[in-house]
């Protein structure tokens, strides 16, 4: 639906964890952080507290990985023009790398379907 994958995953995770409804702005504010740290910040922000227990963050991170897998399982269609773009870059000797805070298996799945 055009929503960034990580935001959809954050929303699904908190909803599954404790029913929290997460707005876009709050989720977007933690993009770019390491995922466990982002989840910690989201738990604090949505509760209005300064700290949450490490055990809860660990549990929520495990749930995040499950929710992320659910969201990426349906990503089987290449983004139009992606193969041609990478082929063109390769033909010019340009190498491309991927940097992501997502787990390796998620990144590999996304790249395979580009």
Instruction: Convert the pLDDT of each residue in 49-98 to its tens digit.
Output: 999 999 999 999 999 999 998 888 777 777 788 889 988 998 999 988 87
What's the confidence (pLDDT) of residue 77?
Answer: 74
Q: Is the pLDDT of residue 46 over 90?
A: yes
pTM of the model: 0.77
Place of tokens 């390491």: 34
Q: Is the pLDDT of residue 2 over 80?
A: no
Q: How far apart are CA 8 and CA 52, in angstroms?
A: 22
Confidence of residue 113 (pLDDT cuts 50, 70, 90): low
What's the confidence (pLDDT) of residue 15?
Answer: 97
Average pLDDT over residues 8-17: 96
Q: Is the pLDDT of residue 110 over 90?
A: no
Q: Which is more confidently placed, 7 or 81? A: 7
Helices 5-18, 35-47: crossing angle, 10 deg rounding: 50
What's the confidence (pLDDT) of residue 14?
Answer: 98
């Amino acid at each position: 639906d055009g929503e960034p994958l990580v935001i959809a995953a954050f929303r699904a995770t908190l909803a599954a964890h404790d029913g929290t409804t997460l707005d876009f702005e709050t989720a977007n504010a933690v993009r770019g952080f390491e995922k466990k740290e982002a989840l910690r910040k989201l738990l604090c922000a949505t509760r209005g507290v300064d700290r949450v227990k490490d055990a809860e963050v660990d549990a929520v991170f495990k749930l995040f990985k499950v929710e992320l897998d659910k969201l990426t399982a349906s990503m089987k269609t290449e983004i139009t023009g992606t193969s041609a773009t990478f082929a063109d870059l390769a033909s010019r000797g340009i190498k491309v790398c991927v940097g992501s805070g997502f787990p390796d298996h998620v990144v590999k799945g996304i790249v395979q379907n580009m």
